[in-house]
Amino acid sequence: MNLFKRIVSKLTNQPEEEEKPSLEKLGDSLKNADLDYKFAQLFTHSGGFFNYCADEAEALKTLNQIIKIEGISNVFCWDKDLQNFLNVVKTPYSEELYSGNDASFITCEYLIAYDGRIMLSHNNILHYHSSRLPSKIIVMANVSQIVNNLNDAMGKIKRNGNIKNLTSISGAQSKLDTSSNSNTKLFLLLLED
């Protein structure tokens, strides 16, 4: 809280507002926590919607709820496995991104516990720039995709080879790349392996 607000709150006998801890402070306070817990805390702190799913049936139920609550009617989804989920919940999708898509349903490369970001590549969003994705993004990932930090993710990517066009997204503040739609809603369905 800035000095002026503190003085005013003292003069008017109003309780001081507690500031939301910064991402760095929260990360430091969670440095000894389990990676999955740390990731979940930092992901939600940055504005993401975290959904733990014990199995695919629970993921399907959660996906259906998100689609209904958010009023999603047409999804960009090129991944065949994810398309099966959309077929079950009877949601139209397109394999190519176009302006009529009001959401995207994608996978990711890694979940970065250090700062709660989600790493994407061309494997997840094809040749599209992440800033072109619709304002509602639903990501399906497994617990085994959580890594401690960006160095760990990059090391795994080097070992796997041929992954290009890396970017990352997080909660309300999206992207490492360019400015994006500030109304972005990022949902994560995290499945147990």
pLDDT confidence band for 135 (50 / 70 / 90): very high
pLDDT of the residue at 64: 97
pLDDT digits (tens, 9 = 90+) for 70-117: 999 999 999 999 999 999 999 999 999 999 999 999 999 999 999 999
Cα–Cα distance measured from residue 32 to residue 41, given in angstroms and rounded to the nearest whole number: 13
- Our CA angle for 56, 57, 59, nearest 5°, is 60
Q: 21-191: which CATH architecture?
A: 3-Layer(aba) Sandwich (3.40)
At residue 172, what is the residue type? A
Instruction: Assign 9 a pLDDT band (cuts: 50, 70, 90).
Output: low
- What average pLDDT does the segment 48-64 reach? 97
Ranges of H-type helices in 55-118: 56-70, 80-88
pLDDT of 41 reads: 93
- Please, are residues 109 and 157 in contact by the beta-carbon 8 Å criterion? yes
Between 24 and 5, the more confident residue is 24
Q: What is the mean pLDDT of residues 11-17?
A: 55
Domain positions in the chain? 21-191
Residue with tokens 């147990």: 192
| Whether the predicted pLDDT of 49 surpasses 70 | yes
The DSSP code for 132 is G
Gap between the Cα atoms of 123 and 91, Å rounded: 22
DSSP state of 54: S
Q: What is the pLDDT of residue 138?
A: 98
Contact assessment for residue 86 and residue 67, using Cβ atoms and an 8 Å cutoff: no
- CA-to-CA distance for 172 and 193, rounded, in angstroms? 27
**Considering the entire predicted model, what is its pTM?**
0.83
Of the candidates 134, 126, 29, 13, the residue with the CA atom closest to the CA atom of residue 73: 134
Q: Calculate mean pLDDT across residues 168-189.
A: 68
